[in-house]
Amino acid sequence: MNELTSEDLQKLAEFGAKSNNSNIRVNIVHLLGTIGQSCTKNEQIQIFVATFLTEAATRDVELRVVSEALDKIVDMFTEDETDKLCTQVGLIGKLKKLQPGFRTKLSLYKQQRKSEGGNYAETIAMANMVKNNLHRFIKYKEKRCGN
């Protein structure tokens, strides 16, 4: 079986970042996040994925994409053996900086959907779960890694 190379991951990330389709961006974030979780022995891939996910969480305009990126970051760094990598990529500082923007994005999304009508309960439920998990994750990792 062939293994993914760094170039393959780079191409996948670029494809996802450039896509106008938010469903594609969500799926690429999910896929790369899963790869980052499973490549625990390859620090280079983990750093690449962590950087990609924090960029997606910071820059994407869609709440679903941002929520998925933050969820995958939490999943990827939950284990205590990721503390060194967490410190190395400055994860806690980055998450603290983007946390207020995420809350604002969630609030605006709720207001916008309420005025438009329609059912966006799934996206709102996921974003609320991520907001709560992110807060707890930052507190936990802050004690272990500093920042």
All structural domains of the chain with their residue ranges: 6-145
* Tens digit of pLDDT at every position of the chain (147 positions): 457 788 899 999 999 989 999 999 999 999 999 999 998 888 899 999 999 999 999 999 999 999 999 999 999 999 999 999 999 999 999 999 999 999 999 999 988 877 776 668 889 999 999 999 999 999 999 998 876
Half-sphere exposure of 26 (CA within 13 A, CB side): 11
How is residue 57 annotated by DSSP? H
CB atoms inside a 10 Å sphere around CB 23: 11
Identify the CATH class of 6-145: mainly alpha
Looking at residue 147, what is its pLDDT? 62
Structure tokens belonging to residue 51: 């950087």
